[in-house]
Amino acid sequence: MLVNTQFGYTEQDFEAIASLIYSRVGIAFRKNKRNLVYNRLVGRLRAHRLVNFTQYLKLLDDQNHEEWEYFVNALTTNLTYFFREPYHFDFLKNYVQEHLEHLTTSEPLRIWCSACSTGEEAYSIAMTMVEAFGTNQPPVKILATDLNTHVLAVAREGNYTTDQLERVSEQQKLQHFIYHKYKNTYEIRPEIKSLIHFKCLNLMDTQWPMKKSFNMIFCRNVMIYFNRETQSRLLTKFAHYLPQGSLLFLGHSESFSEPQDKFKPLRQTMYTRV
């Protein structure tokens, strides 16, 4: 069945694309996403001067073709903003202050932001840590990963517009950002950037390269794109990196789709490793 005539987009093309993105990154596209897929990929057909999606799919037959990077980047969603779901950051600040004596005398607090997008979540975590510890050099190491190479480049730059800082207070702007008047942008200060290591990582990879465990993992507003089987597999892998008593943060609309013996609810979309 022909779905769109301008670039020869068929039902079979959509199903093939959905299968490819699922096998690569675990995202499950239902049939109601056909137009979304078309709109996100049509620019790639223009870039290659192709006339239909069948031709485009042939490029992806080669698993190492450079187009795979553009394909994944185009089909991944990257909606984010500073201090999204603020109750998580309020909890984080209170948690650190309640355990301050222990946290400042032990190993650095290790936090993984597992789908960091353009960096706002990772920087929100870092700013919260600076404020909680009361120093620009808190004993914290933050790993921020994403599979989208484009958004990672934006995150590393750490430059944001005034609109993007809508949820950041004036005090936080002064403390954590450098204002570039000629660009009308705000850049994350170097001491904040130094707390974060940005890295490209696909959560669907069979093995992850991290050798050490984490005190906290943020995986917010990611599970909603996965089916139950993928969700369960991902939670099991997270559990491997979280020792007893460590914390897992999910998004506001996410919950475990089946009973879990590795985590127990702590507060709203916050869980502790058992």
Q: Which residues are designated catalytic?
A: 40, 146
Side-chain half-sphere of 193: how many Cα atoms within 13 Å?
12
Cβ atoms 4, 11 nearer than 8 A: no
For the beta carbon of residue 21, count every other beta carbon within 10 angstroms: 20
Please tell me what DSSP assigns to residue 108: P
What does the buried/exposed string (b/e) look like for 118-145 if buried means 16 or more CB atoms within 10 Å of the residue's CB? bbbbbbbbbbbbbbbbeeeebbbbbbbb
Q: How many angstroms separate the most distant Cα atoms in the chain?
A: 65
H helix or E strand, kind and range, residue 141 = strand 140-146
